[in-house]
Amino acid sequence: MKKTLVLKVNSQNPEMKKIRIAADFIKSGGLVAFPTETVYGLGADALNPKAVKALFDAKKRPFDNPPIVHVSYMKDVLKLTREIPPKAEELMKHFWPGPLTLVFKRSVMVPDVTVAGLDTIAIRMPRHNVTLILIRKSGCPVAAPSANLSGKPSPTTARHVLDDLNGRIDAILDAGPTHIGVESTVLDMTVDPPIILRPGGTPYERLKDILKRVELHPVAVAEKELTTNNVRSPGMKHRHYAPNADMIVVEGELSAVVSKVKELLKFHMRKGKKVGVLATDETIEYYKADVVKSLGSRINLAAIANNLFRLLREFDVECVDVIIAETVPTEGLGLAVMNRLRKASGYNIVRVNNC
């Protein structure tokens, strides 16, 4: 087993010597985990098929699940794509660097493995000093899915990366916790109107302000598992974000949700299960479970998004058997949170209504 090197860096003024060490790994076909504003990513040279295959192997990631390619300059997009639609140029001006991934028709220079054999490529420019410098020093676009074992909650700290990938990758750049906590929004620019394939750090409402017309792919808002072919984005196929415990998501009006959560936790505790409840600040006092955690206030969806994956991993540490999670509002970042909760539960959703 290889030794994974942990390089602690200052997020605002990164130590260049450490960045160069990480960049040298990528240049030589290695794998480096790094922070972004969303979650930690696991990077490989996007133009090196052997390196990208090693990335899939390290994560135990299915080869039909394409990673996002990260760039540090706008001009890099020209090399990786066949064309950049005017609407995409406008979005890049408004939202890059930032948590928005755009899907384009790919150029011939992009290896098949990097795009899971598709004719499209998903690209973004992250808003994080460490990552932008790393990409520039590596001298190549960097293919980078989240730095976790496939299917597990995405990592928002270097510790999470180590828990999943220690000994499987070359290095981790540790710049502290990420700020957004859920992955980027993925927007397909090869169709008109553009379609959100995965809700994330750039809310639907902000994209609509710029584009006027933007649609949501059925998978992005699904309440049950849908069959999907020609997956153009991570997060559209396979189980994602899942803790070890069985998980139930209760959706509906808040008062009815609270009542149903209490009913479910009593049912599972009577069966001898260790039960965790994923609540909010407004409701946490109502629950008497083995483990109760709050995502934050229901009026602060940014905080809820930031806390989500960390809390799912904490439930794993506390070895609960069942997690019962409340719904949250679906505006803004709440849409991304609900997308992740539904997928994490394997669409084990209980819908309730006030009588």
322 - beta bridge partners? Answer: 246, 275
Same-domain status, 144 and 276: no
**Is residue 238 one of the residues assigned to a domain?**
no
Nearest to 313 by CA among 285, 286, 344, 338: 344
DSSP character at residue 63: T
Give backbone dihedrals phi and psi of 259, rounded to 5 degrees, phi first: -60, -45
pLDDT of residue 233: 61
Same-domain status, 279 and 347: yes
Same-domain status, 255 and 178: no
Same-domain status, 147 and 208: yes
Same-domain status, 313 and 178: no
pLDDT of residue 225: 79
Q: Does 236 score more than 80 pLDDT? A: no
Contact (Cβ atoms closer than 8 angstroms) between residue 45 and residue 142: yes
Q: Does 1 score more than 90 pLDDT? A: no
Q: Which residue has the higher pLDDT, 239 or 151?
A: 151
Q: Does 52 score more than 60 pLDDT? A: yes
Question: Which pLDDT band holds residue 235 (cuts at 50, 70, 90)?
Answer: low
Question: Which pLDDT band holds residue 353 (cuts at 50, 70, 90)?
Answer: confident
**Is residue 233 one of the residues assigned to a domain?**
no
Q: Which of 221, 256, 285 is the last residue of a domain?
A: 221
pLDDT of residue 315: 98
Nearest to 36 by CA among 67, 80, 76, 1: 67
Spatial separation of the C-alpha atoms in residues 44 and 153, rounded to whole Å:
21
Q: What percent of the chain has pLDDT over 90?
A: 91
Question: What confidence tens digit (pLDDT) does each residue in 58-106 have?
Answer: 999 999 999 999 999 999 999 999 999 999 999 999 999 999 999 999 9
Q: Does 262 score more than 90 pLDDT? A: yes
Which residue has 């009006």 as its token pair?
253
- Give the CATH number, domain containing residue 251: 3.40.50.11030
Spatial separation of the C-alpha atoms in residues 345 and 249, rounded to whole Å:
7
Contact (Cβ atoms closer than 8 angstroms) between residue 35 and residue 132: no
Same-domain status, 263 and 212: no
**Is residue 140 one of the residues assigned to a domain?**
yes
Same-domain status, 41 and 148: yes
Which residue has 């200052």 as its token pair?
10
CA 241-246-250 angle, to 5 degrees, is 85
Same-domain status, 145 and 185: yes
Kindly tell me the burial class for residue 271, based on how many C-beta atoms sit within 10 Å of its own C-beta (0-12, 13-18, 19 or more). exposed
CA dihedral 51, 232, 121, 157 (to 10 degrees): -50
Q: Does 234 score more than 70 pLDDT? A: no
Mean pLDDT of the chain: 95
Q: Does 222 score more than 90 pLDDT? A: no
Give backbone dihedrals phi and psi of 148, rounded to 5 degrees, phi first: -140, 165
Mean pLDDT, rounded, for 39-60:
98
**Is residue 226 one of the residues assigned to a domain?**
no
**Is residue 234 one of the residues assigned to a domain?**
no
Same-domain status, 19 and 148: yes
Mean pLDDT, rounded, for 165-182:
98
Question: What confidence tens digit (pLDDT) does each residue in 99-153 have?
Answer: 999 999 999 999 999 999 999 999 999 999 999 999 999 999 999 999 999 999 9
Same-domain status, 27 and 154: yes
Structural tokens at position 92: 């890049």
CA dihedral 335, 311, 33, 36 (to 10 degrees): 40
Same-domain status, 10 and 145: yes
Sheet holding 215-216, edge to edge: 5-8, 171-174, 32-34, 41-45, 142-143, 69-70, 120-124, 100-105, 185-188, 195-198, 215-216
Q: Which of 206, 221, 236 is the last residue of a domain?
A: 221
DSSP per-residue string spanning 130-190: HHHHHHHHHTS-EE--BSS-TTSPPPSSHHHHHHHHTTTSSEEEE----SS-SPPEEEE-S
Q: How many domains, in total, are found in the chain?
A: 2
Same-domain status, 150 and 201: yes
Q: Does 237 score more than 60 pLDDT? A: no
Helix locations, the chain, DSSP H: 16-27, 49-59, 75-80, 86-95, 129-138, 158-165, 204-211, 254-270, 301-317, 334-344
pLDDT of residue 240: 75
Range of the domain at 335: 246-352
- 292-298: long-range pairs with CB below 8 Å, 24+: 295/328, 295/337, 298/254, 298/328, 298/329
pLDDT of residue 245: 96
- Give the CATH number, domain containing residue 62: 3.90.870.10
Q: Which of 221, 254, 289 is the last residue of a domain?
A: 221
Question: Which pLDDT band holds residue 296 (cuts at 50, 70, 90)?
Answer: very high
pLDDT of residue 223: 84
**Is residue 291 one of the residues assigned to a domain?**
yes
Spatial separation of the C-alpha atoms in residues 18 and 260, rounded to whole Å:
51
pLDDT of residue 115: 97
**Is residue 256 one of the residues assigned to a domain?**
yes
